[in-house]
Chain A
C-alpha cells in the first residue's frame, strides 16, 4: 500500500522547519530518515495532513566536539554515526548499538534523532542515550530547551517533545576515566528488533568496578536503567562472580510486555543473562 495523500514541506533550516510545522495544520508529522514513518504511513497507521521533511536541513547533520561532550545532530544517519571517529572514541556504546540496528539499507537512511524521537521500546538507541546520561536539545517556536534523557522517554512511542517541537541534537557527555562499553542484543533473526538488549558502560579502578551504568531495551514502555544492578556493582570486585550476583538484580522494577516473541517472565530472565554478559564484556572480564 502507499501512504494516504499529504501536503509536503521541505525546509532548509531549523527555524523554517518549526515554522512549517506551525503552519501545517492539525496533524503534522516530521520526517527524518522515514525508516519508521514511511512503513507506518504505508500501513495507514498514520495519515498526517502535512509531512515536514528534515532531509535538507544541513545544520542537523554531523557530529562535533563540544569540549566536555560530543554532539550528534538529529539528522545524522546511522551509517554516519558508525563512520564517525568522535563517536568511536567517546561513545563506543552508541557505535556498538547502531551496528545492530536493522540492515545496511535502513542504516543509510535512518537517523540517530529519528530513532530517539520514535521512542520504540525495542529501539536500540534510547537505552544507550539513557545509560550515557545524554541531553536532548529540542527547538520550537518559543526557542530551544534541553531535556535530560531520563525525562525524554515518557511512554510507549511517546517523548517529552511538545507539539510543534523538533529534536535538534543530542549531547553525550565525555566520561572521565577509563570506561569499557558493550551492547548485548538478543534477537531471533537478522534485521530484527531487540527482544531484550542491554547497554553497559563500566569504569574499572584498581581491580574493582568503580561505576557502572546499565540501560535496558524493551523491558517496559520506555528504556530503563538497571539501578539495583548499578548499585550492587559500585565498588564491587571485578570478578565474574560479583558481576553475576549483581546482574541477578537487573529485572527489578521492570515491567516488560508479553508478545509473540517472548513472555514477560522470559524477558526478565533475559535481562539478567544479558546484563551479566554485557557487564563482563564492558569490564573486560
Chain B
C-alpha cells in the first residue's frame, strides 16, 4: 500500500492504495465519484476522462499513485456550488448532445480541456479535439453543436451565425437537421 493525498473536486483525500490501482477505480470506489465511468479496456473510449492538474487525461490509463499531490476534477465537480450547470452540461442537455449518456461525462471533460486551448473552435477543431472520445449513439452531430454553443456562451459571444445559435430548437428539429436520412418527428 502507498499513501496518497489527492484533491478531488475541491476536497482533499488521504488514502492508502495499491500501486496498481487505476485512478478511475480509486475515484469511483474509494472517493465515490461514480459520475466518472469506464467504457473500455484499451484506453480508447475516453469515457473515463477527468482533469488532472487542469488537463484532460484518461483516468483508466493513469495510476492513482501518479495522482499523488495532484488536483483532479471529475464531472461531479464542474457545476457551480449552487447546482447551476456548467455551460457545457447545459448545452449537451439543451441541444440533445447525448442519447444513452454513457460517453457524456468524458465528452464534457474533454470539451472543457479543448475550450481552454481553443475558446472559439471551428467544427474541425472540435471533431479533432474530442477524437479521443467515442460515442456509440449520437453520430457526434449534436455533440459538436453543443460544444460550439457552449463555446459561444462561455466567451460571452452571442452566436447568430450558425445552427448552434438556435437555442429554441427542439431536440427533434435539431436531429432532423443533423441527419436528414433519419427524420425524427416531434
Binding site for B on A (CB under 8 A): 1-8, 10, 34-35, 38-39, 41-43, 51, 53, 55, 79, 102-106, 108-109, 190-191
Q: How large is the interface on B (under 10, 10 to 19, 20 to 34, 35 or more residues)?
A: 20 to 34
Q: Out of B19, B41, B66, B131, which one reaches A191, CB within 8 Å?
A: B131
**A5 CA / B2 CA spacing, docked (Å):** 12
Tell me if B113 is interfacial: C-beta within 8 Å of chain A.
Answer: yes
List, in ascending order, chain A residues with CB within 8 A of B43's CB.
35, 38-39, 106
Q: A104, B42: Cβ atoms under 8 Å? A: no
**A10 CA / B44 CA spacing, docked (Å):** 27
Q: Mark B107-149, 1 if CB is under 8 A from A, else 0.
A: 0001001100000000000001101110000000000000000
What are 13 A-B pairs with beta-carbon distances under 8 A?
A: A2-B22, A7-B19, A34-B61, A42-B41, A51-B19, A102-B132, A105-B56, A105-B58, A105-B110, A106-B43, A106-B58, A108-B55, A109-B61
> B25, B52, B55, B63: which has the most chain A beta carbons within 10 Å?
B63
Binding site for A on B (CB under 8 A): 2, 18-22, 25, 41-44, 46, 49, 52, 55-58, 60-63, 65-66, 110, 113-114, 128-129, 131-133
With contact pairs A39-B43, A105-B49, A191-B131 given, residues A8 and B61 touching in the complex (Cβ less than 8 Å): no
**A6 CA / B19 CA spacing, docked (Å):** 7
List, in ascending order, chain A residues with CB within 8 A of B58's CB.
105-106, 109
Q: How many residue pairs bridge A and B at CB < 8 Å?
A: 79
**A53 CA / B55 CA spacing, docked (Å):** 20
**A7 CA / B21 CA spacing, docked (Å):** 12
| Min CB–CB distance A39 → chain B (angstroms) | 5
List, in ascending order, chain B residues with CB within 8 A of A109's CB.
57-58, 61-62
Q: Is the interface of B mostly helix, strand, loop or mixed?
A: mixed
List, in ascending order, chain B residues with CB within 8 A of A2's CB.
20-22, 25
| Min CB–CB distance B143 → chain A (angstroms) | 14
| Min CB–CB distance A224 → chain B (angstroms) | 28
Q: B62, A38: Cβ atoms under 8 Å? A: yes
Nearest A residue (CB) for B132: A103
List, in ascending order, chain A residues with CB within 8 A of B2's CB.
8
List, in ascending order, chain A residues with CB within 8 A of B63's CB.
34, 38, 53
List, in ascending order, chain B residues with CB within 8 A of A42's CB.
22, 41, 60
Q: B55, A1: Cβ atoms under 8 Å? A: no
List, in ascending order, chain A residues with CB within 8 A of B52's CB.
108
Q: A3, B20: Cβ atoms under 8 Å? A: yes
List, in ascending order, chain A residues with CB within 8 A of B46's CB.
103, 105
**A2 CA / B18 CA spacing, docked (Å):** 11
**Given A55-B66, A104-B113, A109-B58, 11 extra CB contacts under 8 A:** A2-B25, A3-B20, A10-B65, A43-B41, A103-B133, A104-B114, A106-B43, A108-B57, A109-B62, A191-B44, A191-B131
